């Protein structure tokens, strides 16, 4: 069980624009421990495909994400467990997709969000080597969501119609959230 705990909506750390990490910081043992803690906390959650360092009260420009192959998204290339340090987002399409999003820092609430249908995310891996991923569809939305978190933006800020938010009942069944 990780000693680091999730920050919840209202905590100022979630609204900060996080500065880039130095090469030395990325290669440090502390960064390795942070990556381990992020994966550990993410694994403890019922839902979740990504987690930013700021969500664990750590002011480091990095997040972890994965997208396993599932029967619900067979047309999406899976993303293995990946650590993204100092990511930079490039939107590569004007086309938009609508997707339901949630945030572990805003438990139990999901909302309909418009995202660009494709993007490229440039980042440094855990060895501070430059990498890039071209993502489409749901995966593009996931990476845009995590990048937003590093800019102090949560999915609720991106909702065009907050009346379309929903809460999750204890059994994971969606229900309408009264305004």
Q: Which two tokens stand for residue 76?
A: 């999406």
> What is the mean pLDDT of the segment spanning 102-131?
94
- Percentage of residues in the chain with pLDDT exceeding 90? 65
Residues sharing a CB contact under 8 Å with residue 41, sequence separation 6 or more, in sequence order: 2, 4, 5, 6, 51, 56
Residues constituting the chain: 179
- Active-site annotation, residues: 146
For 2-77, where are the E strands, in sequence order?
50-52, 62-67
Confidence of residue 171 (pLDDT cuts 50, 70, 90): very low
Residue (of 72, 21, 47, 31) closest to 171 by Cα position = 47
113: alpha, beta or left? (left if phi > 0; alpha if psi -120 to 50) = beta
Quick count: other Cβ atoms within 10 Å of Cβ 78? 11
Which pLDDT score is estimated for 159? Answer: 85
Residue 176: the pLDDT is: 42
Q: Write the pLDDT tens digit of every residue in 53-92.
A: 999 999 999 999 998 876 666 666 778 999 999 999 999 9
Sort 50 into a burial class: Cβ within 10 Å, 0-12 / 13-18 / 19+.
buried
Read off the pTM: 0.87
pLDDT digits (tens, 9 = 90+) for 132-165: 999 999 899 999 999 999 999 999 888 877 656 6
């Amino acid at each position: 069980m990780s000693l680091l705990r999730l920050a919840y909506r209202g905590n100022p750390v979630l609204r900060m624009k996080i500065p880039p990490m130095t090469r030395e910081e990325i290669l440090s043992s502390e960064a390795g421990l942070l990556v381990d803690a992020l994966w550990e906390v993410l694994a403890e959650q019922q839902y979740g495909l990504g987690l930013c360092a700021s969500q664990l009260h750590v002011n480091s420009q990095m997040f972890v994400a994965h997208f396993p192959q599932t029967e619900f998204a067979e047309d999406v290339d899976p993303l293995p467990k990946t650590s993204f340090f100092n990511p930079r987002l490039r939107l590569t399409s004007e086309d938009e997709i609508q997707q339901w999003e949630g945030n572990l820092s805003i438990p139990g609430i999901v909302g309909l969000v418009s995202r660009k249908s494709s993007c490229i995310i440039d980042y440094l891996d855990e060895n501070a080597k430059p990498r890039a991923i071209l993502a489409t569809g749901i995966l593009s939305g996931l990476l845009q969501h995590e990048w937003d978190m590093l800019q102090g933006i949560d999915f609720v800020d991106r909702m065009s119609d907050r009346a379309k938010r929903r809460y999750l009942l204890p059994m994971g069944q969606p229900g309408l959230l009264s305004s």
